[in-house]
Amino acid sequence: MAILVIAEHDNQQLKPATLNTVNAASQLNQPISILVIGSDCQAVAEQASAVSGVDTVLVADNAAYQHQLAENTAKLIAELASDFDYVIAAGTTTGKNTLPRVAALLDVAQISDIVAVKSADTFVRPIYAGNALATIQSLDSKKVITVRTSAFDAAGTDGSATITPCGLVHANAQSEFVSEELAVSERPELTAASVIISGGRGMGNGENFSLLEKVADKLGAAVGASRAAVDAGFVPNDMQVGQTGKIVAPDLYIAVGISGAIQHQAGMKDSKVIVAINKDEEAPIFQIADYGLVADLFEVLPELESLL
Amino acid sequence: MKVLVTVKRVIDYNVKIRVKPDGSDVDLTNVKMAVNPFCEIAVEEAVRLKEKGIASEIVVVSVGGSEAQEQLRTALALGADRAILVESTANTESLNVAKLLAKVVEQEQPSLVIMGKQAIDSDNNQTGQMLAALCDMPQATFASEVSVADNSVTVTREIDGGLQTLSLQLPAIVTTDLRLNEPRYASLPNIMKAKCKPLATVTPDDLGVTLSAHTQLLGVNPPPQRSAGVKVKSVAELVDKLKNEAKVI
Amino acid sequence: MEFDVVIVGAGPAGLSAAYHLKKLANDKQQDISVCVLEKGSEVGAHILSGAILETTALDELIPDWQEKGAPLTTPVTEDALYLLKDQQRATKVPGWAIPAPMHNNGNYIVSLGNVCRWLATQAEAIGVEIFPGFAAAEIAYDDNGRVKGVYTGDMGISKDGEQKDSYMPGMALYGKYTLFAEGCRGHLGKQLISQFKLDENSDPQHYGIGIKELWEIDPALHKSGLVVHGSGWPLDNDTTGGFFLYHADNNQVVVGLIVDLNYSNPHISPFDEFQQMKHHPLFADVLSTGKRLSYGARAIAKGGLNALPDMAFPGGLLIGCDAGTLNFAKIKGTHTAMKSGMIAAENVLNALIQDGQSGQDGQDNLPDTLTGFTDAFRDSWLHKELHASRNFGPAMHKFGPIMGGAYNWIEQNLFKGRLPWTLHDTKPDYAQMKPASECPEKHYPKPDGKLSFDKLSSVYLSNTNHEEDQPSHLRLLDPAIPVKVNLAKYNEPAQRYCPAGVYEIVEAESGPQLQINAQNCVHCKTCDIKDPSQNICWVPPEGTGGPNYPNM
């Protein structure tokens, strides 16, 4: 039968996470529909119809769905699921919030945060904070799945799916949206950033972190630090990446002047691409870096800033 | 009002896990176990509600083997009033745990259920939402602030890119995020007192729930080791590779 | 809170004392309250030992230990002793030449952590209160200077000494008697020894640092019950120590090296000696296809009877390795620690019962100092055993590993430890350190990541953690000394004797300075022992901090 992918959006823009989710779904080799639930979300439906590999876009456009709260969207998805074998959403806070509720309504398990599709009913997902990978087989006829989007490339956008309105409306009398406060900082938060540049003890002092910030501004990156840099008092504790700090997995992680002790690696080794810049070519960080540059960071950083 | 909190017994967050040599699962022999950190935050939040005079009774529930009594005692030492252990070691996947908890909720009729957003072993992030569906209650996941007034609870949630505030009618289910509070330490006198607080044990049969497996664990592997990539000679080469080879900038 | 008996430390000594006391009291229908404080996050979390267990004390304590599921499942099947001549060659010492105390027939290869976990369950089942996660931070004295208990440390204090949200003040735990069973170089035991001058009549204590790893190996190479000991390479002739390799159950082996802390060359790094040692074929052949599972280190009090202080003081007793009851000839301290705890329990109970009978007029007739313990200890097999091996350590220190070993063989095998003289070693270990400039430098090979590893990857496997925002638990009496004295004269040996990478000399803009990474500390106490300036004072961090050793 078929796959229903839940669109991630804000009523105006289809979020890129949807593209990674569709790509994961496409590995099941079944027809794919996207469901857009929202209010005044026709623009999103249009964008969804352009996603490669998608046949149909279902649009449930109603004021009741404006904030995509789980109570009624889960009911809607569960109802629509009767026509599908798979219900799949991105493992974002929205997907994580809604999909388990759908699964329970359907009396099936949810397979959370898959990073690989093994077969029609078998998936790989990280457990223990990514320190192990479990291979899980679903025994339910209907499969409800969330996808770790960083594990899948984005689908293309050269498709032309048909858009079909869906008139089902479930009211939500149980919960109510009060307000939303989206962070508009100049730099993304460490745990949400797609690019992170971190400094270690090699930075020498706190002032030198401005060299990293300049590069970060060019890349839209967050700035992190190793425990050694925090312990040396260069930067505050909340910038620490590592075992006892934040665990991050951006698309690009640039480690500058960080030797790369295992405690630091534990916090960033799941990054997609790792760059190491260090003058000590024996530094352990080079053993896990995709790109290593053995050089003096005080020469590299200004040059990097100018080339970006 | 009555608050129900749930705790799960998991491997201590300080302990490095090890996959069994036969790849069947993670080896938990003789490793330190503890209350799931997010559940600890849930207990703390309930205790704070009681200290504010909002909660009148805190019931803590766990689903697991008899050894989970240890974690229930910890919750009692932190301030919960009584504990219920649903003794079940088979089929403890999220949906089944939610089904067992739904029965407990039906019996206990709490006004508020506070749970951890996820357990640090299975990392599923499902049970609270599933319980909400089964009880047809509203839910607020990933809470970083909770305030209860009359018949509703206002919850600030940590969502991607910011914060969202919802108001839920009670009874409701809230799952905790890391920044909701900093749990207290259990004091020695409270640990002593906790030994005398009531702890009831029930089985799935007692609750009238028959569980069946919805998933099967086929194997567990350590994550692939990263290996060293290439050394570049210059900053220009690095930028070029990141743009054209890795395509990350 | 008040108890009849407060015990500090849930190791073999503390748990045996607690169990024995409660059991004897229950048998006599006496209601005696016993509480055990443990600084680790759980019982066993901070326990690190080889370990080979001789069951003499356990047989007395819990005769049906087998039925009760004690984790003693791997009997020793074979003893081997090797001298490593260099990085390739080894000489197997024939069985007849092995000193008698080093024979292990009838003993078991165990995880002492798991034995303690089991002992704790037994003790709790008969009514002992055990509180893991609480460190005894200070000694409580009454007005007459008698020990009346301990204070637990404050929790929730920030780095700058401020109270955090989670602040919880420490508590007083008073007991009619307090037993200190903190293990080697207990920080309270150290204070008691000096406060009551308990070491007036004994030699200075001597120590070793034991570094241990747990490996999982190829089943084809695994010989359950095989015990290998030895010494030699890579330790130089001026440095004594010995290694162990035990084949435990589940295709696991433990490998470790004990380096005596009386070494004089400040360039020596026991950690790197151990890492290098594993490249010897004796180890590499077993380990190279295996996987390292865990790592830890702990100091060992090995001075034996000559260095054993008085164990009784007003209000309590020092027991186990906190006093120094380890038998170094056997390289075993578990059965002796357990026995010392049992003797303590018997004497404490006698005192409490006599007090209950005679003190009904409201008069407190508790004897201050349990002199009965001292007599009972002297009459016990424990004392006999320690007396027989009293010369073992000093002989090694005096005559070096070869001649000392020969001396020990003659004394232990031919004379069964009954030679009429006693050898003494009166120079404390820290005072042995020579200036760096007078000693040959050591160049250790880089770890290969397969057999040998760096310190931080090792600490990682000890599951060590401390709450980050708390005052450092490694106190410098004088913050200037590490650079001014230790760095200048000894090239700051803390960088090398610490097996957890706690101490680093870093180049700051103002010059070199000592960085203390207290979070890495595995609570081995070596710094407190070996700092040549005796400037480092180890105090307990917030409860639960430290390693979380599994199966160690």
CA-based nearest distance A281→chain B, Å: 10
User: Residue C456: which of A232, A262, A282 has the nearest Cβ?
Assistant: A262
The predicted-structure confidence for B177-207, as pLDDT tens digits, reads as follows 988 999 999 999 999 999 999 999 999 999 9
The count of C-alpha atoms lying within 13 angstroms of the C-alpha of C55, restricted to the half-sphere facing its C-beta, is 19
Q: Could you give the CA distance from residue C533 to residue C494 in angstroms, rounded to a whole number?
A: 11
For residue C173, which residues of chain B lie inside 8 Å, CB to CB?
Answer: 188
For residue C171, which residues of chain B lie inside 8 Å, CB to CB?
Answer: 187-189
> Which amino acid is residue B199, in one-letter code?
L
Q: Could you give the CA distance from residue A276 to residue A289 in angstroms, rounded to a whole number?
A: 6
Domain residue ranges of chain C, discontinuous segments joined by +: 2-69+111-202+309-388, 74-109+205-304+431-538, 392-423
pLDDT (tens, 9 = 90+) of chain C, 552 residues, equals 999 999 999 999 999 999 999 999 999 999 999 999 999 999 999 999 999 999 999 999 999 999 999 999 999 999 999 999 999 999 998 888 888 888 899 999 999 999 999 999 999 999 999 999 999 999 999 999 999 999 999 999 998 899 998 899 999 999 999 999 999 999 999 999 999 999 999 999 999 999 999 999 999 999 999 999 999 999 998 899 999 999 999 999 999 999 999 999 999 999 999 999 999 999 999 999 999 999 999 999 999 999 999 999 999 999 999 999 999 889 999 999 999 999 999 999 999 998 766 544 545 667 889 999 999 999 999 999 999 988 887 887 777 777 777 777 777 777 777 777 788 888 999 999 999 999 999 999 999 999 999 999 999 999 999 988 899 999 999 999 999 999 999 999 999 999 999 999 998 888 999 999 999 999 999 999 999 999 999 999 999 999 999 999
Residue C178: active-site member:
no
The predicted-structure confidence for A63-97, as pLDDT tens digits, reads as follows 999 999 999 999 999 999 999 999 999 999 999 99
DSSP for B151-174, written as a single string:
TEEEEEEEETTEEEEEEEESSEEE
pLDDT (0 to 100) of residue C357: 63
Tell me the count of A-C CB pairs closer than 8 A: 26
**Owner of token pair 């200077």:** C145
Residues in chain B: 249
For residue A16, which residues of chain B lie inside 8 Å, CB to CB?
Answer: none
For residue B196, the tally of other CB atoms under 10 A from its CB is 8
Contacts (Cβ under 8 Å, ≥6 apart) of B133: A74, A100, A101, A102, A104, A105, B98
User: Residue A74: which of B133, B232, B233 has the nearest Cβ?
Assistant: B133
Residues B182, B183, B187, B190: what is their CA dihedral angle, to the nearest 10 degrees?
150
pLDDT at A184 over 90: no
- Return the SS3 of B53: coil
DSSP code of residue A60 = E
The predicted-structure confidence for B111-133, as pLDDT tens digits, reads as follows 999 999 999 999 999 999 999 99
Q: Could you give the CA distance from residue C340 to residue B184 in angstroms, rounded to a whole number?
A: 37
**Owner of token pair 């049906």:** C64
pLDDT (0 to 100) of residue C358: 52
Q: Could you give the CA distance from residue A197 to residue A218 in angstroms, rounded to a whole number?
A: 11
Domain B2-219: give its CATH superfamily: HUPs (3.40.50.620)
The predicted-structure confidence for A137-165, as pLDDT tens digits, reads as follows 999 999 999 999 888 999 999 999 999 99
Using a 10 angstrom Cβ sphere, with 0-12 exposed, 13-18 middle and 19 or more buried, the burial of residue C475 is: middle
- Taking the mean position of all CA atoms in its chain, how far away is CA C256? 14
The answer to whether the beta carbons of residues A271 and A254 sit under 8 Å apart is no
Are the Cβ atoms of A110 and B94 closer than 8 angstroms? yes
Neighbouring subunits of B (3+ Cβ pairs under 8 A): A, C
Find the angle CA(C249)-CA(C253)-CA(C259) to the nearest 5 degrees. Answer: 140
Q: Could you give the CA distance from residue A201 to residue C141 in angstroms, rounded to a whole number?
A: 46
pLDDT (0 to 100) of residue A188: 83
Question: What's the fold here for domain A3-165?
Answer: Rossmann fold (3.40.50)
Domain residue ranges of chain A, discontinuous segments joined by +: 3-165, 195-307
Nearest to A250 by CA among A168, A296, A190: A190
Q: Could you give the CA distance from residue C92 to residue C425 in angstroms, rounded to a whole number?
A: 30
The model's pTM is: 0.93
Are the Cβ atoms of C456 and A243 closer than 8 angstroms? no
- Check CB contact of B183 with chain C, cutoff 8 Å: yes
Domain residue ranges of chain B, discontinuous segments joined by +: 2-219
pLDDT (0 to 100) of residue C408: 78
C-alpha distance across the termini of chain C, in Å = 33
Residue C121: active-site member:
no
Question: What's the fold here for domain C74-109+205-304+431-538?
Answer: D-Amino Acid Oxidase; Chain A, domain 2 (3.30.9)
pLDDT top residue among A108 and A183: A108
Cross-sheet strand order for the sheet of A116-117: A116-117, A122-127, A132-138, B215-221
Contacts (Cβ under 8 Å, ≥6 apart) of A119: none
Residue C111: active-site member:
no
Q: Could you give the CA distance from residue A65 to residue A82 in angstroms, rounded to a whole number?
A: 20
Domain A195-307: give its CATH superfamily: TPP-binding domain (3.40.50.1220)
Residues of chain B with pLDDT under 50: none
User: Residue C456: which of A232, A237, A263 has the nearest Cβ?
Assistant: A263
Catalytic one of C298, C325, C336, C544: C298
Indicate the average pLDDT of chain B: 96
Are the Cβ atoms of C469 and A237 closer than 8 angstroms? yes
By DSSP bridging, strand C34-38 and strand C52-53 are: unpaired
Q: Could you give the CA distance from residue C365 to residue C351 in angstroms, rounded to a whole number?
A: 9
Residues in chain A: 308
Are the Cβ atoms of A252 and B219 closer than 8 angstroms? no
DSSP code of residue B40 = H
Enumerate residues 28 to 57 of chain B having a beta carbon within 8 A of any beta carbon in chain C: 29-32, 34
pLDDT range class, residue A185, cuts 50, 70, 90: low
- Check CB contact of B241 with chain C, cutoff 8 Å: no
Please state which CATH class domain C2-69+111-202+309-388 belongs to: alpha beta
* Continuous segment of H or E residues that includes residue C508: strand C503-508
The answer to whether the beta carbons of residues B126 and B50 sit under 8 Å apart is no
Residues in chain C: 552
Residue C521: active-site member:
yes
Catalytic one of C49, C185, C202, C292: C49
- The helix/strand count (H/E) of chain C reads as 16, 24
For residue A267, which residues of chain C lie inside 8 Å, CB to CB?
Answer: none
Nearest to C331 by CA among C251, C398, C396: C396
For residue B183, which residues of chain C lie inside 8 Å, CB to CB?
Answer: 166
pLDDT (0 to 100) of residue C464: 93
Are the Cβ atoms of C468 and A261 closer than 8 angstroms? no
The predicted-structure confidence for A111-121, as pLDDT tens digits, reads as follows 999 999 999 99
Are the Cβ atoms of A261 and C519 closer than 8 angstroms? no
Q: Could you give the CA distance from residue C171 to residue C190 in angstroms, rounded to a whole number?
A: 21
For residue B12, which residues of chain C lie inside 8 Å, CB to CB?
Answer: 41, 463, 548
pLDDT (0 to 100) of residue C364: 63
Using a 10 angstrom Cβ sphere, with 0-12 exposed, 13-18 middle and 19 or more buried, the burial of residue B150 is: exposed
